[in-house]
Amino acid sequence: MPSYKAPLKEYRFLMKDVLEIERYSNLPGFADASIDLIEQVLEEGAKFCEGVLAPLNKSGDEHGCTRHADGSVTTPPGFKDAYKQLVEAGWPALSSDPAYGGQGMPHIVALAWSEMVASANMAFGMYPGLSHGAYAAIHQHGSDAQKNMYLPKLVTGEWTGTMNLTEPHCGTDLGLLRTKAVPQANGTYRISGQKIFISAGEHDLASNIIHLVIARIEGAPAGTKGISLFIVPKFLVNADGSLGARNGVVCGKIEEKMGIHGNATCVLNYDDATGYLIGQENKGLMAMFTMMNVARLGVGLQGLSQSEVAYQNGLAYAKDRLQMRSLTGAKNPDGPADPIIVHPDIRRMLMDAKSFNEGARAFAFWTALYGDLLHASPDEKVREKAGDYMALMTPVIKSYLTDRGYAVATNCQQIFGGHGYIEEWGMSQFVRDARIAMIYEGANGIQALDLVGRKLGANGGRAIFAFFNELDDFAHQNEDDAELKEFVDAVKGAKAQLQDGTMWLMQNGMTDFDNAGAASHDYLNLFGITALTYMWALQAKAALAAKKNGGAGDPYYDTKLVTGRYFLARTLPDASAHLVKLKSGAEPVMALAAEAF
C-alpha cells in the first residue's frame, strides 16, 4: 500500500526563506497569513490528505465510478464521506473571496493545499479542483446576481463546478463547436448539444453541479468569435437559493480511461437545458480562458504531485528492498544484501526525482506568488510584471512539470522492478494518473505553441525581457559570493542559451511560422530547465543564508545544496541539446510531405 507524507518543511522553506512572503504583509490576504499561521493551516491540511484522502487513492483506482441507467453516477467507496469532511472543514473556501464566504488566504497557500490533495488522491482532488475553476469564471465574469446565487455554495463546496468545452469533433479547435444556445423571451437560453471528457461531470458528492458551458447562440458568427459562455446548473436554483427542477443535462456515459478512475469523466448530453449567459454574447472564449489559466497552473502541479508521491514511495522501497551488494563493498554486511539505495543507478533515479520535485515546486510557488501580486498589489508596475510573468510562465509550468512529472513517476516505478508493474504496489497508478496531466487543459504541444506564438511576443517581448533582466540582476548581485558561484555560473549559462533560442525564434519564427511550431517543444523545455536552474540558485542562496542564520546544525540546508548541484550536473546539460534541436528549425521536421508518410 503506497503512502504519502506532505512536504511541509519544503513549503515553509519556500515561503519563508526563498520567497520571503512576509515582505508582503501589507497586502490583503497576506496580512493575516504569517508563516506560522500558514504552517498551522497546512499541517491541518496535511493530516486530512495523509489520513483521509491517501488511503482512498488505490481503492478509488480499483473501483472507479459507476454510471447507473438513469444517468446518475456513484463515486468510489469512501469518496462521499471524504468529500463531506472536506466541506465541513472548510477547505474549498481557503483562498476564495471573503465577500462570498471565502477565507481570503493567498493563492500560494491554496497551491500548497492543492499539491497535497493531488499527491494524496489526484482523482478525488479534481472534484474540488474543477469547482475552483467555475468559481473563478463566475467571480470574474458573472453579474452580481449570478455571483450571489452561485459563489457562496461553490465556496463552501456544497456545490461543485465543471468546465464544458470539448465535443466529439473538437477539443483544441473550439471554433468548430456545435452546441447551440437558443435565446428565450425570459432572457435565458435553451442549450442543446453533446460535451465529452467532462471531468467531475456527474457524481454523488454534492447536491448540485454548476456546469460552465460554451455554446454558440443561434445566428452567432462562425468560429471562435461566436462562442458564448453559459451557466447550466444540474438543478435550477430558486430565487431563495433552494434547489428547483432538474435541468436538461444528463450523463450519457462515463469513459474507460488509463487512470484517474476515481473521477467521473462524462459525456454530458444537453437537451434544451436552461442556461444563463455569463459575461457578454460571443465573448465566451475569453471568459473560459480565465478558468483555463487557473486550471493550467493546477494541472502543472498535478504533474509534480504524482512525481512527488511516486518519489516518496520509490525512496521507501529503495531503502527497504535488499538486493545485491554495493559496488564499493557491502553497506549492510549483516543482512543478506544491501538496500538498493546504495546502487548509483537507483540513486540517480531518486536524485532526478528529488531535484526535479523541489525545483518544480519552487517554480510553481514563485509563479503563484505573482498570481497573488497581480490581484493584491496596489502598485501598477508590480501588477503589470506579475501579469506578464503569469502569462509567460503558465504554459511552461503546465507542460514542463507534467512531461517531467510523468517521466519521474515512470522512473520511480522502475525502482520497484517487477513489483512496479503490478497494481498491488500502487506505482502503476501514479504513472497512469500522471499521464492525463500532459493532455488535458490544452495538450502540452498547444502549451508550447501558446508560449512561442502568443506569450513570447506579447507587448514587444516585455515579459521575457523582464525575466532575462531578472536573471542578469541575480548573476550580477551574487557575482562575488564564492559559495554560490556554481549556481550563479549555471544561471548565466542557462540564460545565455535561452536568450540565444529566443533570438533565433524572433528572427526565424516570424518569417516562417513553421519554424516557431517546430521549435516550440524544445524551446519550452529549454525554458523549463532555465527556470528550474534559477529556482535552484534561489534555493541555494536561501539555504546558505539560513545556515548562517542559525540553521547550520540542520542537515536540511546541506541537502538542499547537494540536490541543487545534482540538478546542475545532471539535468542542466539537456539545455544545450534542446537549443541545438530548436535551431535546426522546421526543415527537418517538415521535409517529409504529409502524403509521403
The set of catalytic residues is 441
Sole window of 89-97, 105-113, 124-132, 407-415 interacting with a second copy (rule: CB under 8 A): 407-415
Which of residues 98 and 417 has its CB atom nearest to a second copy in the complex? 417
Q: Which of 255, 320, 479, 554 binds a second copy (CB under 8 A)?
A: 255
Q: How far is the CB of 437 from a second copy (least distance, A)?
A: 10
405 touching a second copy, by CB under 8 A: no
118 touching a second copy, by CB under 8 A: no
Sequence-distant (6+) residues with CB within 8 A of 105 are 29, 32, 33, 38, 41, 94, 95
Q: How far is the CB of 462 from a second copy (least distance, A)?
A: 23
Q: How far apart are CA 559 and CA 538, in angstroms?
A: 15
Which of residues 81 and 255 has its CB atom nearest to a second copy in the complex? 255
Q: Cβ distance 272 to 183 under 8 Å?
A: no
Closest CA to 531 of 436, 434, 382, 394: 394
Q: How far is the CB of 197 from a second copy (least distance, A)?
A: 5
Q: How far is the CB of 216 from a second copy (least distance, A)?
A: 14
Q: How far is the CB of 4 from a second copy (least distance, A)?
A: 16
Sole window of 51-59, 65-73, 211-219, 325-333 interacting with a second copy (rule: CB under 8 A): 325-333
Q: Is 175 left (phi over 0), alpha (psi -120 to 50) or beta?
A: alpha
Q: How far is the CB of 415 from a second copy (least distance, A)?
A: 9
51 touching a second copy, by CB under 8 A: no
Q: Which of 128, 303, 339, 501 binds a second copy (CB under 8 A)?
A: 339
Restricted to residues 150-189, the positions that interact with a second copy (CB under 8 A) are: 166, 169-173, 176
Q: Which of 123, 136, 342, 540 binds a second copy (CB under 8 A)?
A: 342
Which of residues 472 and 514 has its CB atom nearest to a second copy in the complex? 514
Q: How far is the CB of 345 from a second copy (least distance, A)?
A: 4
For residue 142, the SS3 value is coil
Side chain identity at residue 20, one-letter code: E
Q: How far apart are CA 355 and CA 567, in angstroms?
A: 6
DSSP 219-237: TPPSGGGG-EEEEEESEEE
Side chain identity at residue 171, one-letter code: G
DSSP 133-159: HHHHHHHHHS-HHHHHHHHHHHHHTSE
Q: How far is the CB of 311 from a second copy (least distance, A)?
A: 10
Q: Which of 85, 269, 323, 499 binds a second copy (CB under 8 A)?
A: 323
The grid coordinates of residue 351 equal 536524485
Burial class (CB in 10 A: 0-12, 13-18, 19+), 312: buried
Mask for 274-303, x = binds a second copy (CB under 8 A): ------------------------------
Closest CA to 61 of 435, 438, 423, 434: 423
Restricted to residues 481-520, the positions that interact with a second copy (CB under 8 A) are: 512-514, 516-518, 520
Sole window of 17-25, 106-114, 339-347, 461-469 interacting with a second copy (rule: CB under 8 A): 339-347
Which of residues 149 and 434 has its CB atom nearest to a second copy in the complex? 434
530 touching a second copy, by CB under 8 A: no
Q: Which of 138, 215, 266, 346 binds a second copy (CB under 8 A)?
A: 346
Instruction: From residue 337, give the alpha-carbon distance in Å to each of 115, 349, 543.
Output: 36, 20, 36
351 touching a second copy, by CB under 8 A: yes
Q: Which of 96, 410, 508, 525 binds a second copy (CB under 8 A)?
A: 410
For residue 429, the SS3 value is helix
333 touching a second copy, by CB under 8 A: no
Instruction: Give 565's DSSP letter.
Output: H
Side chain identity at residue 200, one-letter code: A
Would you tell me how many other CB atoms lie within 10 Å of the CB of residue 88?
10
Would you tell me how many other CB atoms lie within 10 Å of the CB of residue 259?
20
Restricted to residues 425-464, the positions that interact with a second copy (CB under 8 A) are: 428, 431-432, 435-436, 438-440, 443-445, 448-449, 453
Return the CA Rg of the chain.
24
Closest CA to 209 of 166, 243, 186: 243
Which of residues 47 and 419 has its CB atom nearest to a second copy in the complex? 419
Q: How far is the CB of 49 from a second copy (least distance, A)?
A: 21
Q: Which of 182, 243, 337, 496 binds a second copy (CB under 8 A)?
A: 337
Q: How far is the CB of 91 from a second copy (least distance, A)?
A: 27
553 touching a second copy, by CB under 8 A: no
Q: Which of 424, 479, 481, 554 binds a second copy (CB under 8 A)?
A: 424
Q: How many residues bind a second copy (CB under 8 A)?
A: 98
Closest CA to 403 of 160, 243, 578, 184: 578
The grid coordinates of residue 2 equal 503506497
527 touching a second copy, by CB under 8 A: no
Sequence-distant (6+) residues with CB within 8 A of 382 are 373
Which of residues 52 and 529 has its CB atom nearest to a second copy in the complex? 529
For residue 440, the SS3 value is coil
Restricted to residues 207-236, the positions that interact with a second copy (CB under 8 A) are: none
Would you tell me how many other CB atoms lie within 10 Å of the CB of residue 424?
11
Three-state secondary structure of 161-188: EEEECCECCECCCHHHCCCEEEECCCCC
Q: How far is the CB of 411 from a second copy (least distance, A)?
A: 10
The sign of the CA dihedral 542, 388, 390, 579 is negative
Which of residues 156 and 166 has its CB atom nearest to a second copy in the complex? 166
Which of residues 19 and 575 has its CB atom nearest to a second copy in the complex? 575
Q: Which of 145, 258, 458, 552 binds a second copy (CB under 8 A)?
A: 258
Mask for 554-573, x = binds a second copy (CB under 8 A): -x--xx--xx-xx-xxx--x
For residue 438, the SS3 value is coil
The grid coordinates of residue 193 equal 448539444
Q: How far apart are CA 248 and CA 443, in angstroms?
A: 30
Q: How far apart are CA 111 and CA 368, in angstroms?
A: 8
Q: Which of 67, 180, 347, 383 binds a second copy (CB under 8 A)?
A: 347
